């Protein structure tokens, strides 16, 4: 039997990798990642304000985002609502005042309430295992 042409091996490898990649990808699109619930309408509005004002340039959710401000995934359980509203009202010496309307503030608070229900981002709460993996509460 004649040896297989190297070009064919390359094309074959490429096609197999792509097929596995695409299957995995579309599986992920259809599957809902563990435990999490969708946001309600108000929280969804809050998410859009969060994006339009680009809050994530300074803040993180689950540790992802800019690094000038704190992670806000669980700010709702860490701070009283009135405190969050006060910060949204006036900003801080670093954080600008975004002149948010009271509706916008409601939506953002609902968003933080929602992010808080999706899980915890505090690395202290994770358990480390000997094989290098971690588990979350």
Partner 1 sequence: MEQYPNHKINYSVAFIKMALLFLLSALSFGLLAALQYIIPGFGRDTFSFEKLRPLHVSSAVFWIILGAMGSVISFFRQHKRRKLKNQFWIKVQFYIFTLSFGGALVSYCFGIFSGREYWEFHPLLAIPIAIGWIVFIVNFLSNLGTLKNQPVYIWMWFTGILFFLFTYVESNLWLIPAINDNLVKDMTIQWKSYGSMVGSWNLLIYGSSIFLMDAISGSKKYSYSNLVFALYFLSLFNLMFNWGHHIYTLPTSLYIKDIGYLVSMTELFLFGRIIYLWRSSVTTAQKYFHIRPYRFLLAADVWVFLTLGLAVCMSIPALNIYMHGTHVIVAHTMGATIGINSFLLIAFACYILGKKKNGNFFKSKWIDIGFWVINISLVFFWISLIVAGFIKSHWMFHQPDVPFGVMMMSLKPWFISFYISGCGLFIGFCMIIFPLLFNHLLRDENNSFFKRKENHNLKEMVLD
* Close Cβ partners of 99 (under 8 Å, ≥ 6 residues apart): none
Member of 86, 87, 95, 100 binding partner 1 (CB under 8 A): 95
CB of 133 to partner 1, least distance (A): 5
Asked if 44 interacts with partner 1 (CB under 8 A), we say: yes
Give the nearer residue to partner 1 in terms of CB position, either 89 or 136. Answer: 136
Q: What angle do CA 136, 36, 80 make, to 5 degrees?
A: 80
Give residues in contact with ligand HEC (CB under 6 A): 50, 53, 55, 57-59, 68-70, 72, 75, 78-79, 84, 87-88, 92, 94-96, 98, 108
Asked if 28 interacts with ligand HEM (CB under 6 A), we say: no
- Biggest CA-to-CA distance, the chain: 78
Q: Residues interacting with ligand HEM, by CB under 6 A?
A: 66-68
């Amino acid at each position: 039997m004649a040896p297989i042409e190297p070009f064919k091996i390359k094309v074959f490898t490429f096609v197999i990798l792509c097929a596995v990649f695409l299957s995995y990808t579309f599986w992920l699109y259809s599957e809902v990642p563990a435990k999490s619930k969708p946001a309600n309408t108000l929280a969804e509005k809050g998410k859009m304000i969060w994006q339009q004002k680009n809050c994530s340039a300074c803040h993180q959710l689950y540790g992802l985002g800019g690094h000038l401000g704190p992670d806000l995934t669980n700010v709702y359980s860490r701070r009283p609502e009135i405190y969050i509203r006060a910060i949204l009202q006036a900003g801080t010496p670093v954080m600008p005042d975004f002149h948010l309307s009271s509706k916008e503030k409601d939506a953002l608070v609902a968003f933080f309430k929602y992010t808080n229900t999706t899980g915890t981002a505090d690395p202290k709460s994770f358990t480390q295992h000997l094989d290098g993996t971690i588990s979350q509460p």
